Structure 1
Amino acid sequence: MAKVSLELSLKCTELQLPANFSEGVFVAVHHCQPNHGFWSNHLETDVIRGSNKPVFLKTVSFFIKDNVTEDTRMRFIVYRVSKNKDITEQGTCFCVVGDITAKDEVKNKGNYTGTLVLTTLHASDKTKKRLKPIWTMRDGTDKQFLVTTENGDFNPKAVVPVDASLAESVKPKSEQEFTSITKNPVLKSMFSNAICRTYKFPTEGGEFIRAQELMMESCLSFRVPIHFLKLLVDEETKKIGSLESIGKLTGHWEAVRRRRVDSLKKYLDRYQARIKHMMMHYHAPFFKKSVDKMSEELEFVPTNLHIQKMTVQNLNNDTFNYDITTVGATTAHAMGFKHGGGLLAQLANAGDGSKRFSNCINTIIFNYPARSSEIFRNNRFLEKINSLHNQVVYEVEKLRNLTKHVTGSSEALAHLSNKVCQLITCCECELVQNAVKSLEAARPAYKPLHENYVHGPPNTDVMGSSVLVETDDSVSFNSSSSCSDLNDKVDSLWVSNRYSIKYLIKNHCAVPTSNLEVTGSWLVKSPTFNCCMKKVSFNSLLPHAATTDTQRETALNDLSILLDLVQSVCAEVNASLSFMDLNHTEQQNDFDLAYRRNVVFSQALTTIAATVQNHILTSIDNQLKLHQFSEVGIFIQVESLLSTYGNELGMLQDYAVGVNDMKHVTVKCSTANKDESHGSDRYLPTLHGTTSAMIITLHFDDSTFELLPIDLQKGKLIKLHPVMYSVGINEEQTLAERFGSTAVQEYLNQQAYESTMEYYDMKKKSLTNLDENRSIMEVVNFLRQAVHSKRNKNVEILQLAGDLCRKLNGARITSCKSAKDRTAMSVTLEQARILAMEHGLANQSFNQVLTCMRSQGTRRENTLKNVGARRYAFTSMQLMTFPKQYRAPEGTYGKAES
């Protein structure tokens, strides 16, 4: 029997209710398979109050995954809800799915309106066991489906019209959108355990719009943290190697070095233990429950990460998608919030322990960005040195392979020269000079290099030409020069012998060889990096010279010498910069700070990866959006509902640093691995780099990849522009406003507004529609006024920021402590506002729609998934302090874990 997809919208007429009835009515829907002897609960509609002709906004949807066939039986039970929340059954009606799908109206138009008679129970029957019905369906001229029971009782009191407009023969676009998630291989690999709710809402024009809510778990919740920790293990292992390669230091610094190595090893063991534990949770469910947010074993995993999708279908069958990522604040719950609060305060106070964050907001504004940029500058510079080292090794290997194929030697030589010159430029900067000097000062006494050559410089028999050419201002290579020109320019390079880096390679330069040249000024001036590179002979590599086995052997020897020197230089630079990091860490005197930041970074990175991949996929058919992503990057607006009081202030500080660190993350697009043995995992993102320069590589199937702009197909990196707006809405924010401070919140909002304007200025170049530009400017002006106003719990900031984000084609993230309760209020409010502003939702229905989505929508199910209870963790007293639009409906909240 073929499976059926069906959507029904329900309403009741002529319900027998008291004259002064003001309570609510709802319908519970069950279904039963022919070969089963029991009813399965399917859903309950929203509660309509004060009407005996209720029209229910929540629709009844059966998807293919529900295994419904034409023989499936449906039962509709109407309940009345009193003021004291007592539930009374009003009556029941039945039908068979096939009796609806077989109608000509359904087959031809996809729309059908029918009625079912509601059979009520007599008072004497209320205590009797309900009998299993006998299905004697018949279709009368009035199109009523009449039902009799085994005892023959039949007492029609009301009629339930059924709008079966979305049958199998004519699938709605909302159903097509839902099933497309399972058909698209990338989407299927990204999401799991989807929960769907469908609605039918009235518009101002008296028509109806259809809406669908989807809430899905992201399959990246554990995958990205595991990959990130593996990168951290490699990074920490290299740090340990660099610190151990420094050699013996003076007493104080030797003790510091040993403490640092011991700390790194301790964290290395912890990272490996976290990986092992997370691998056990890698497969379903794909999220960390809010009750597990204090778990140390899962501290790198974001809390309650879900993708919330709303699909809207208008009368013209046009489909619109609106996505929000919901996640608990990216913070180190397991580490607590002592010693100055969260990361923002700890980083701000790292440079000056006398300044306390709680007393001086300027500490955040001035010290934190400087400290953060210093950390990233050092790390990125070290990564640049290591990258150039790897490129030099690659070019040397290429040249070694070309010694027997001389036609390509000149070009390959040019590439090698270019990489070596870039390495020289990096090693001549002030940062490296200071690092080398600091390291030498911390080492035991040493002899200057020139004292090792009291009897003169080493043997300097010279062969051929060098690849290095130095001009007045920079080092370069002219690949078009002839061999004789090259020799002339090389002479000027080595004679110049400038003061570049005085102490860089003191011991490494003392390698006598017949193929190295040292200028006559060797004993007079300190050695430079250029002098260290010497004058390695590459003449034997060039086409006119590399003709004999002896010359090829000489060329290979020269390449080995150059490679050894480069490796020695890079090792010394690594050791020197590692010592600078050692010095910086000792100044902070808190090794846990780096660990805490990694915890926050992992959670933020996972959230961003899930958000960006989903955002690109949902925009794949919009070339204007994709072009914008390629040219100016992706705008990401993070909405925080955390207060600025107590522990939540520390959470907010952690979250702010995590969002800021995402500015150093870039995105690359690639085709997925063709090897199907990897399964759907081949479509999931991969990570490369370090915390200071992370690259997320997104993998697409061929058909999707071809829709991307050419620049992105060629590997252009997409920049990310994350901003965070924060407004606390709970009772703790009330305490902060009256007895504490909201300075952090005000600062974050002002910074977010400035960053938003920077992105808007970049995007304006691609705006060709003047009306669109005016509408954006209008929202910008309102947002500026809201950000600079001093109103308490000014949620208008969040609403305007969300509106502006959508106009900028950005991605949205909404958070509170656990992304369960306050987040549910915000997400449902945003969805209702979108329906009103973009799709003409009737004004008089706004509150009803909001209540419906909060009581019957996917976010209610989110509470069940997290704490095992379908209720929001609010109390009546708490809700009194919430802004009115953020209050949960009656009957949906109560005491629960958060």
Structure 2
Amino acid sequence: MACRRPTLSKRNIEISIVYKDLVQGPGPEQPNPMVTVFYCSGQHGWVAHTHTQLKGHVNHEYRCTFVFDSEVLVNKVRLDVFRLKDCTTGSNSGSVEFALSGLIVAPARKLWLDLCSHEGKKVGDIIVEASNVVVTSSSEEHSLHVTSRFTLCKIPGSKFSCFKMDPSLSCVFCELLERPVLLPTTSPSKISAIEQATESKMALHLPVILLNYYVDKYSYCVGVLQGLRKLCEPWQKQRQKALVYFEALIERYSCALRNLSQQQSRTFKSSRLKCSKDLEFLPTNLHVQRLHIYHRRGTGCAHDVLTLGAPAAHSLGFWDGGLRSLLHKASGVTCKVLHNLWLLHHMHADLTQKSKLLSKALEVQSDCCWERLMSLIDKLRQLLTLCDNVAKEEVVPELYEAQRTTSSLEKHLTSQTLQELTLPVDQSLTILVKRIDSYLLGKTEGMSQSNERSMEKCADSICRMMQKTADVVMSTADCLGFSLLQEPSQTLRRCLNLQLRRDVVFSQTLAAVVSGVVLRLHALISEPRMLQAMQSVGILVHFEGLLSTFRDERGMIEDLSVGVLDMCSVHFCFVAASRVAQAAFLPNVQEYGEGWIVEVPLLPNLHDQLPPEFRDKAKISLFPVFFNVGINEEQVLADWIGDTSLQQKINEEAYSRLVGYHSQLQHSLYNFSDQDEDIRALLSDLRHSVQDNRPQGPHILHIAAEVCRRLGGVRLTCCKSGKDRTAMAVTLEQVFLLQQHGLPAADVNPTLDHMRSQGCRIEIARKNVGRKKYAFNALQLKAFPRQYRPPDGTYTVLES
């Protein structure tokens, strides 16, 4: 029987190479090797594929990882290794060849090979290893088809490679892309750099969680409307219209949830899909980009920035503006009623859970009975306060009147108001407190029989109190549901569409923010004093926008500005992972009261390193700010003849919030003065730039970004698609950082051009549109600041 030849499925294959013990040339310097990769398909001989260069070594080992360009037919691979100084002469140090099929079937998919010179002399060792491979069986005798995405290059053994520092973090990110930053060979600089980019699993994970919440939320509203007792004819018709609007909204959320649930492996939404209704809750083109900077003396650092298409409801359009203006025009009554209705449901569910915990503590005679009782009382007081506020809206008499005109009047709908209904709850609570106090006293004195009777009375009091509370909740829900019917049909419909837009923007923004904050929190684990300071003032989250105040992008700014402020309702806490599995390390999101809490799982050993208060789920808040400066030809047009007041106001608000955050952080960190003078100078420059009456330039963004880095904040940069203008901004920021670490001014432009033409950002552009080109044209670029223009040959007219 013929042996079947293993073939590859249509997936990427990554080939890692470690070359070590290279023969050193004359002089004290290390070889600084460069490898050129060739492949042979059996048709056209050897074809050059890629090359990488490494500036540095670890224990005389050099490593790179590469893949092949799309749909390449590969039989053999050849590696030519050069010393850097020999590249121009074409004289390589050694070569090695291997068959790709042999690599796939080798044990552990790893080959040990000798690197030999032209004379046949061994000049080093090569270890070749294949990963990210799916092997299938096939009887067909054909070569291996290999599909690739990225060219990777990595120096092993670095403590700064924190995407893989532990399972808690590595499970959140995927699709790692690395590129060396090739500094000019004439540069006397003593630094080297590598840029990384990776997708975040939060792009899919969090929207799915939020969509489940949204479906439950609006389904509860439908249940309340359906449960309203008999209404007179006009109100019946109004209710039917309202139900149609709510059911349409629920269907849209449910459809989005089904689509996302069917593609659980998808973590990336390309810029071309930003208007897709099926993927509207996913952030567009979300990546985490990190720049590693290494010094020859052995030190280094890393800087992170998240990039994405501006969180906005593209699927809903911007013909009437974005969230900022729509919220200003909308009736606040309907939005407030919807919020109170869901808050009521959430509080009642939480109260029910707390009552069960108290009952269980009584049954097992736990010492935490009094603590559980205090927690229950606190939640009950919050619920009763909400019900009392609803009663003051004077909707109760109107609801009763709408029901009184029907042929059958419910007996329990008397002249009682909600305030009167809360009195039995207060009485039941008073009795419950006395009985638990008596129970605890009996437990202390050891009276077992009396204690059993007290426990039974406590359980009975809990049951009676929850029954009376349920009556209050039902009556309050009826009043809130009737309040929705009092709104005109068109007003209710506009409000639900507005809520849909806000939910879409919140989902996209939260996924991006959680990705960045998780990285920041992991970095703070080893800095307990800084972690405690962040708990008191919050983590600074800085959004940098490159959107113009013209046409659709103005609506995107309005959506994004509201999404950023909604992050104020988000808090973070640490939890110990219950098991060592991928899903166990993905952050979870839960709604509580007026906001949301994100639980960040940690391995038990990392969780034990936290200060005591953080092991008890101490909450860490966010402090978001948003600066925007339009970088395109439409912004130039807006500066001449349009309205730029929106951008002016947003930047002024952001500046005020940033100054406030700096002031709070000063009081939390007692030794903050060593860099405080520099920060004050930066804030002063920022104030002058923001308040200047002339068109605002990108220097505002540069100053704000520097302040954010010095304050330990999370950086996010976005434009319409997250790949073109964003690429220019990120690479420019990385060069600024290299300058701070000693890159000479003469080498700035060559390094910038290299990053934009050979680095991560050009690959991300290809990932979105299928070509290694930025979506610019020559006319557009004339309106760009010079520092934001890509090198010739890297741009063309494309759909972005």
TM-score by shorter chain over 0.5: yes
Q: Does 1:747 align with 2:649?
A: yes
Q: 2:206 aligns with which of 224, 227, 244?
A: 224
How many angstroms apart in 2 are the aligned matches of 1:453 and 1:885?
Answer: 71
Q: 2:533 aligns with which of 628, 631, 654?
A: 628
How many angstroms apart in 1 are the aligned matches of 2:614 and 2:641?
Answer: 51
- CA, structure 1 residues 657+67, in 2 after alignment: closer, same or farther (shift >3 Å)? closer
**SS of aligned partner of 1:320:** strand
- Alignment correspondent of 1:42: 50
Offset at residue 300 of structure 1 (A):
0.8
**SS of aligned partner of 1:226:** helix
How many angstroms apart in 1 are the aligned matches of 2:630 and 2:540?
Answer: 23
Map 1:92-491 → 2, pairs under 5 A: 92-96=90-94, 135-136=118-119, 176-177=158-159, 180-201=162-183, 206-284=188-266, 286-338=267-319, 340-351=320-331, 371=332, 375=335, 379=339, 383=343, 386-387=346-347, 390-391=350-351, 394-395=354-355, 398-399=358-359, 402=362, 420-429=380-389, 433-437=393-397, 439-440=399-400, 442-445=402-405
Q: Does 1:665 align with 2:570?
A: yes
Map 1:791-806 → 2, pairs under 5 A: 791-806=694-709
Give the AA of the match of 1:343.
Answer: L
Offset at residue 192 of structure 1 (A):
1.2
User: Does the 8 Å contact 1:645/1:740 carry over to 2?
Assistant: yes
Q: Does 1:783 align with 2:676?
A: no
- Alignment correspondent of 1:765: 667
Q: Does 1:563 align with 2:457?
A: no
**SS of aligned partner of 1:94:** coil
Q: 1:608 aligns with which of 513, 521, 527?
A: 513
- Alignment correspondent of 1:720: 622
Q: Does 1:842 align with 2:747?
A: no
Map 1:488-887 → 2, pairs under 5 A: 503-504=417-418, 527=420, 529-531=422-424, 534=427, 542-543=438-439, 547=450, 556-581=459-484, 583=486, 586=489, 587=491, 589-590=493-494, 591-674=496-579, 676=580, 679-689=581-591, 693-767=595-669, 768-836=671-739, 838-887=740-789
**SS of aligned partner of 2:279:** coil
User: Does the 8 Å contact 1:869/1:896 carry over to 2?
Assistant: no
Tell me the percent identity: 28
**SS of aligned partner of 1:4:** strand
How many angstroms apart in 2 are the aligned matches of 1:406 and 1:778?
Answer: 57
- CA, structure 1 residues 711+381, in 2 after alignment: closer, same or farther (shift >3 Å)? farther
User: Does the 8 Å contact 1:821/1:873 carry over to 2?
Assistant: yes
Offset at residue 258 of structure 1 (A):
2.4
- CA, structure 1 residues 792+431, in 2 after alignment: closer, same or farther (shift >3 Å)? farther
**SS of aligned partner of 1:327:** strand
Offset at residue 326 of structure 1 (A):
0.1
Offset at residue 726 of structure 1 (A):
0.6
Offset at residue 609 of structure 1 (A):
1.2
Give the AA of the match of 2:648.
Answer: E
How many angstroms apart in 1 are the aligned matches of 2:325 and 2:595?
Answer: 23
- CA, structure 1 residues 264+216, in 2 after alignment: closer, same or farther (shift >3 Å)? same
User: Does the 8 Å contact 2:291/2:302 carry over to 1?
Assistant: yes
Q: Deviations for 1:5-45, whole angstroms, at most 9, x for unmatched residues? A: 6899xxxxxxxxxxxxxxxxxx9963259999855623478
User: Does the 8 Å contact 2:52/2:64 carry over to 1?
Assistant: no
Q: Deviations for 1:395-433, whole angstroms, at most 9, x for unmatched residues? A: 366347737969998887666556545544443346655
Give the AA of the match of 1:892.
Answer: T
Q: Deviations for 1:45-66, whole angstroms, at most 9, x for unmatched residues? A: 89xxxxxxxx99xxxx964655
- CA, structure 1 residues 253+716, in 2 after alignment: closer, same or farther (shift >3 Å)? farther
- CA, structure 1 residues 385+233, in 2 after alignment: closer, same or farther (shift >3 Å)? closer
How many angstroms apart in 2 are the aligned matches of 1:379 and 1:572?
Answer: 17
Q: Deviations for 1:131-177, whole angstroms, at most 9, x for unmatched residues? A: xx99335699xx9xxxxxxxxxxxxxxxxxxxxxxxxxxx9977524
- CA, structure 1 residues 575+665, in 2 after alignment: closer, same or farther (shift >3 Å)? farther
More relative contact order, 1 or 2 (CA 8 Å, 6+ apart): 2
**SS of aligned partner of 2:210:** helix
- Alignment correspondent of 1:128: none
Give the AA of the match of 2:532.
Answer: H
Give ranges in structure 2 of 5+ residues lacking alignment. 1-14, 23-32, 69-76, 98-115, 125-152
Offset at residue 253 of structure 1 (A):
3.9
How many angstroms apart in 1 are the aligned matches of 2:62 and 2:93?
Answer: 14
**SS of aligned partner of 1:194:** strand
- CA, structure 1 residues 551+806, in 2 after alignment: closer, same or farther (shift >3 Å)? closer
- CA, structure 1 residues 573+850, in 2 after alignment: closer, same or farther (shift >3 Å)? same
Give the AA of the match of 2:695.
Answer: N
Which moves more between the two structures, 821-830 or 313-322?
A: 313-322
Give the AA of the match of 1:884.
Answer: R
- CA, structure 1 residues 781+279, in 2 after alignment: closer, same or farther (shift >3 Å)? same
Offset at residue 320 of structure 1 (A):
0.8
Aligned-pair RMSD on alpha carbons?
4.2
- Alignment correspondent of 2:18: 4
- CA, structure 1 residues 692+815, in 2 after alignment: closer, same or farther (shift >3 Å)? farther
- CA, structure 1 residues 189+248, in 2 after alignment: closer, same or farther (shift >3 Å)? same
Larger radius of gyration: 1
**SS of aligned partner of 1:213:** strand
TM-score of the aligned structures, taking structure 2 as reference length: 0.78
User: Does the 8 Å contact 2:358/2:373 carry over to 1?
Assistant: no
Give ranges in structure 1 of 5+ residues lacking alignment. 9-26, 47-54, 79-88, 100-132, 144-170, 352-370, 455-500, 506-526
Give the AA of the match of 1:844.
Answer: A
TM-score of the aligned structures, taking structure 1 as reference length: 0.70
Q: Deviations for 1:594-616, whole angstroms, at most 9, x for unmatched residues? A: 11111111111111111111222
- CA, structure 1 residues 604+690, in 2 after alignment: closer, same or farther (shift >3 Å)? farther
How many angstroms apart in 2 are the aligned matches of 1:45 and 1:90?
Answer: 13
**SS of aligned partner of 1:210:** strand
User: Does the 8 Å contact 2:182/2:754 carry over to 1?
Assistant: no
Give the AA of the match of 2:322.
Answer: G
How many angstroms apart in 1 are the aligned matches of 2:216 and 2:246?
Answer: 12
How many angstroms apart in 1 are the aligned matches of 2:189 and 2:793?
Answer: 30
How many angstroms apart in 1 are the aligned matches of 2:181 and 2:454?
Answer: 80
